[in-house]
Amino acid sequence: MPKATHILAIFVVVVVLCLIFSLFSLTMGVAEFQRAGPNMGSLTWILLGIIGLVTALYAIGQLATRISKMPKPKRTITVVRCANCNFQERREFKRGDYVGKKVGKCVKCDGELFIELIYSEVIKRRRII
Ligand SMILES: [Zn+2]
């Protein structure tokens, strides 16, 4: 999904710019405050800086929440077992698989192979944040 990655990249750039601007604004405000005391200029810079910081942190929080709620990629596994000798095999789920389905002969003892279990597991991936 290249589009989602694009949007994410733009979002991160905007948030970083917002953070940089806020820090710059705060620094300006504090410097002006120390130089000339509380006046319109210094207080405006400080206020802008605080608003920017809060906005950026809120956006980061929202993003983190959304990412943690995203559905995790899963794969479906079919477990095949021999009725005779307990030989077991796991494989990728195939269309038409169902529990109890007979799927052929055992490679070890020529007994009946059947599907014992179908389950899905989460594919582990690199964390973004
Ligand atoms: Zn067997």
Based on the structure, what is the number of domains in the chain? Answer: 2
Q: Quote the pLDDT of residue 1.
A: 53
For range 60-82, the mean pLDDT: 89
Instruction: Compute the distance between CA of residue 104 and CA of residue 102 in angstroms, rounded to an integer.
Output: 6
107 CA from centroid of ligand 1 (Å):
7
Same domain, 21 and 51: yes
Structure confidence by residue, pLDDT tens digits, 7-49: 888 888 989 999 999 999 999 899 988 888 888 888 899 999 9
Same domain, 62 and 87: no
95 CA from centroid of ligand 1 (Å):
24
Between CA 114 and CA 121, with CA 119 as vertex, the angle to 5 degrees is: 140
Structure confidence by residue, pLDDT tens digits, 72-101: 888 999 999 999 998 999 999 999 999 999
108 CA from centroid of ligand 1 (Å):
5
Largest CA distance in the chain: 92
Same domain, 19 and 52: yes
Same domain, 28 and 54: yes
Q: Quote the pLDDT of residue 99.
A: 97
The verdict on residue 98 lying in a domain is: yes
Q: Is the pLDDT score of 127 beyond 80?
A: no
Q: How many CB atoms lie within 10 A of CB 89?
A: 14
